[in-house]
Structure 1
Amino acid sequence: MKTTPVHVVARWKVKAGKLEQVLPLLKEIRTMSLREEGNLFYEIHQSKADVNTLILFEGYADETAQQTHVQSAHFKRIVTEQIVPMLKEREVTLAIPINI
């Protein structure tokens, strides 16, 4: 049975003065996420127009792997409890690849 990969594009607007606190936490969650079964990639980018805007590109083997990621203890501890309170805005888009 073929599974469909799930990709995540997240845009985080970090509150002024909080970027230096967010970056080490983001490095930690990236390291832990790359070890998850079903993780395909986890890339972090910074906007050229606004240094406080971070763009995350994540890939998971399927929806189960993506849901396991957001329900993990390390995601809740690092992202939900620590990073999210330091964000001004947070937009997350889940997408699947299409072959056209």
Structure 2
Amino acid sequence: MSTNHIHVFAKWQVKKGQTGQVLALLKQAAEASRQEKGNLFYQVHQGTADPDTIVLFEGYIDESALAEHRESSHFQSIVVGQIVPLLDSREVTITKPILD
């Protein structure tokens, strides 16, 4: 498969009692991210066994689009500035598709 697409899997463990606030902020961040020129998709998932676990699945046309996303004002202000302090942990894995 020849593609420059980049996929991001982010697993967040939200602090107890903060999931509602994180999801409200994440709705804003997702809407803004989906408007980015290089965004392919931005999906938000919630754990069934643990609703305080949030998993993001994001797609970008290439590495520069991902870099632009991370530098965007909405990412910096909402995700880094407001959401990250409400998390116990945050794990991000950046991948590229290799098989259909």
What are the superposed Cα offsets for residues 45-80 of structure 1, whole Å, 9 maximum, x if unpaired? 001110000010000000000010011111000000
**What's the % identity of the aligned pairs?**
52
Q: Alignment RMSD, CA only? A: 1.2
Corresponding residue for 2:84? 84
In the TM superposition, 1:41-80 aligns within 5 A as 41-80=41-80
Secondary structure at the residue paired with 1:68? helix
Gaps of 5+ in 1: none
TM-score (norm 1): 0.95
3-state DSSP class of the match of 1:41?
A: strand
Which position in structure 2 is the counterpart of 1:96?
96
Aligned length: 99
Contact kept, 8 Å, 2:10 with 2:92, in 1: the verdict is: yes
Listed as ranges, the gaps of 5+ residues in structure 2 are none
Tell me by how many angstroms 1:3 deviates: 5.4
SS in structure 2 opposite 1:43? strand
Moved over 3 A (4+): none
* 1:40 paired residue number: 40
Is contact 2:3–2:97 with CA below 8 Å preserved after alignment? no
